[in-house]
Structure 1
Amino acid sequence: MPWPKFWSSSPPPTDTKEEENSLDHPPSNLISRISSTANTLRSTLSSTPQDTNGAATTSAFSTDIDLLTSISHPSTLLATALLTTTIFALTALSRRYLRRIPTAPAIPPAYIFPSTRQFTRSLFGRVTSVGDADNFRLYHTPLGRLALWGLFRRVPTDAKALRGQTVHIRLAGIDAPELSHFGRPAQPYSQDAMDWLTSYLRGRRVRCYVHKIDQYGRAVATVYVRKGILRRDVGLQMLKTGLATVYEAKSGAVFGGEGVEKVYRSTEEQAKRKGKGMWAAEKGGPKVETPREYKNKYREGGNATTTQGKS
């Protein structure tokens, strides 16, 4: 069977003007060349005498040519481009919005914002346990019900399944009375604060705006929970009830901006004047020992077991 001319080792002469036009419109030129090649192959194969085996080979070859022609069709190329773009877009969206964060150290930097910047990302999830009067554990459920959490995707309830799968959250800007830790006695109202936070948050969905990861591997965050149609700042609510004070450490205090800190301090003063919670003891009695003063007292006492206490 003679070889087709376009398979010749020496390329056919080309017209310079035609070549320049092909450079200006390479996609359409490529498609026309593919179609021309396919048509030449068909005419060559149909004009060549063949035996039975040759006919079968020619038929298969002709099918391949038809496939090549269909692939080169503009509608096929467009559909392929759209499908590829869609796959890449869905993958990027999944990584950005649907990836579950299991622990606080695993929180990406994009979720952590200094107090001077505006929040654009947050952690949304369900509170699985309250460990102290100012911190809790969160099971991250990205996009919440929009991602079918609560319908086809469930938050684990047993401790074994939750191990290593929850984000430890520390409420930003407040300090609650200390429970008994490391051999130290519990502060007055510490159990009241613990009970209040547990009833207010446990099992509820909350949104956390993370400021930083502290030295204990916790995400220090401003936390909001919906009560009815209103969204409430959990730390601010604790200050209102008199079961927490504004955080008074020399360094590391974060509030989410000066405006938030002013609101927190004003709310604490109102709770003092009204004798709410721990401040009730100051009505005609001695000055209340704040959580910060309590922790400093034991640190200054030189008790080695207390220097590891979490603030």
Structure 2
Amino acid sequence: MVSTDDIFFIEPHKNDSYENLNSWPEPSLVSSVAGNLRIPNLTDEPLVLKRNEHFCNVRSTYSPDNIEIKSPDHAVATKSQLNKAQVLHSDLVRVDPDGLLQPCIKEKFKSLLRQYDNVFSPTFKGYNGAVGALEAKVNMGPVQPPQRKGRIPQYSKTQLVTLQEKFNELEDIGVFKKPEDIGVTVEYLNPSFLIKKPNGGFRLVTAFADVGRYSKPQPSLMPDVDSTLRQIAQWKHIVISDLTKSFYQIPLHGDSMKDCGVSTPFCGERVYVRSAMGMPGSETALEELTSRVLGHLVQEGVVAKIADDLYCGGNSPEELLTNWERVLQV
């Protein structure tokens, strides 16, 4: 029960004893009715809750109208935070963590990583159109979602500054742009939140639940987990990798940008110009892009993929080295 009817932000509580609760409920805005919050179970299986169990966090929200920044120096992330000098990005890659490779083979892997060091850079310009003009698109239906003011979680000042810094970081790498800079009139503002990472820190998450309810699903052929595991089981040696901010690398179609607006705590409205996790159509776009780029390697049995996780294998260290170089070349 809540004392007033308002709009609240809900997110899963990460300290639950049940692992299957850690992704439920999805971060979203929920309106209270008659002092009650209705939180539906949208997972594929029933969830059993114990009496008085803390399964989610609920926060008040507010509309960031006429908010004054008392400490602008702290409210805006500096670009130097993103451009800290690092000798080699590939130095962060763990090579032979179990110590099974011969020193000469291990050094060859390290040399290959140094050769393609730019592949591991945390900053990127996005997909370059090498295999076609692929874009993510929100396939809206005939009915548009009702417009409403932007909402921000009732965070502390420190958390609001952190949220703004995350917006600034993504704007610096081209994920967000100001609406007037690209000639877009925002028609819908989606709420954004901070979610704790398992290894510390926060990541920015935007809830596209309302836009998703008014969009049409896009048919696609997604990888089968069982066949992927069978492929991986055939290899004796493996390289496990994933794409850095995979969704953020895919351009968003111009017609979809008006429905993908966000409201920042201090710096006004922004719009997504790249796809994002949870955005309708983003998974389809990612699967299509990775299939076109890596499809020939998947067909040869050199690579297996699930979403943004890539697995490269071989039956000997030398074969794995050759196959991994082919992956880096694409």
Same fold flag (TM > 0.5): no
Larger radius of gyration: 1
Choose between structure 1 and 2 for higher RCO, CA contacts under 8 A separated by at least 6 residues: 2
Please tell me the TM-score bracket, short chain as reference. under 0.3
- The TM-score, its normalising length taken from structure 1, stands at 0.26
The structure where helix makes up a greater share of residues is 1
